[in-house]
């Protein structure tokens, strides 16, 4: 089922990490922070209650929801929509629109989008990892992947390695070329044929004054040498 509005689970997640502020807090740019992460241009005349704070939160989330509806024409599940709504509220609408996370989701690459979520954990104010952002991204990632069907894989067959952080804008490295099974079998067959020719040349060398050696053994030696060379080359390229 495609979702178009945040659920109560989304509201609960945002409230958990935004906290609640009944008394407005003056920000450095002249605006005021109150409720569940709501920013007001004017100072409120009185303290804010939970009901009004939730109303303002829903209004603030609507701008994020509009971006999600436009960016993902095929729609999102409720869990996916909720996770991205929380994420968009956290980083801001403009950042969401140009984020790698939204671009990957719009292409249906949910697993990669979930991994990209983890890169949005650095505080813009301090430039360092913020514990609350780490925990928030973990919660959003779990929600984003909640509807994904994951096939089990034994660790001995799918042993993970640490992913190296990519430089901004760097292209994704291509995996090293792997030798094709048919190529390996063909080269092995060439080597076996070469050995047979050498054996035939050596066996008949005494009977015809070396003619058989030249006819069979020499091409056989070339075949063996080519087989060994190209098999070693493919092995080195695959490492």
Using one digit for the tens of pLDDT, what is the confidence trace for 19-70? 999 999 999 899 999 999 999 999 888 899 999 999 999 999 999 999 999 9
Set 18, 63, 112, 148: catalytic member: 18
Q: pLDDT: is 179 or 42 the higher one?
A: 42
pLDDT band for position 111 (cuts 50, 70, 90): very high
The DSSP annotation for 96-154 comes to HHT-HHHHHHHTT-HHHHHHHHTT--B-TTTSSB-HHHHHHHHHHHHHHTTT-------
CA angle at residue 35 from 33 to 38, to 5 degrees?
A: 50
State percent of the chain over pLDDT 90: 53
* Nearest residue to 121 (alpha-carbon basis) of 109, 105, 138: 138
Answer whether 79's CB lies under 8 Å from 144's CB: yes
Tokens of 187: 């080269």
Q: Can 18 be counted among the known catalytic residues?
A: yes
């Amino acid at each position: 089922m495609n979702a178009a509005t945040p659920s109560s689970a989304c509201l609960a997640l945002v409230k958990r990490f935004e906290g609640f502020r009944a008394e407005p807090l003056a920000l450095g740019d002249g605006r005021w922070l109150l409720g569940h992460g709501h920013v007001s241009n004017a100072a409120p005349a009185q303290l804010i209650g939970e009901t009004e704070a939730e109303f303002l939160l829903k209004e603030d989330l609507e701008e994020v929801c509009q971006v999600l509806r436009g960016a993902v024409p095929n729609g999102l599940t409720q869990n996916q929509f909720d996770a991205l709504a929380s994420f968009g509220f956290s980083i801001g609408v403009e950042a969401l629109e140009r984020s790698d996370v939204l671009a990957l989701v719009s292409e249906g690459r949910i697993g990669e989008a979930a991994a990209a979520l983890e890169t949005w954990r650095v505080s813009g104010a301090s430039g360092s990892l913020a514990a609350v952002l780490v925990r928030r991204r973990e919660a959003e990632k779990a929600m984003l992947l909640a509807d994904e069907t994951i096939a089990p894989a034994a660790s001995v067959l799918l042993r993970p390695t640490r992913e190296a952080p990519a430089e901004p804008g760097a292209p994704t490295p291509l995996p090293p070329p792997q030798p094709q099974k048919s190529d390996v079998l063909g080269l092995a067959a060439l080597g076996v044929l070469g050995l047979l020719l050498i054996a035939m040349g050596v066996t008949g060398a005494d009977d015809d004054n070396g003619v058989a050696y030249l006819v069979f053994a020499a091409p056989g030696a070339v075949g063996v040498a080519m087989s060994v060379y190209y098999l070693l080359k493919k092995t080195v390229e695959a490492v």
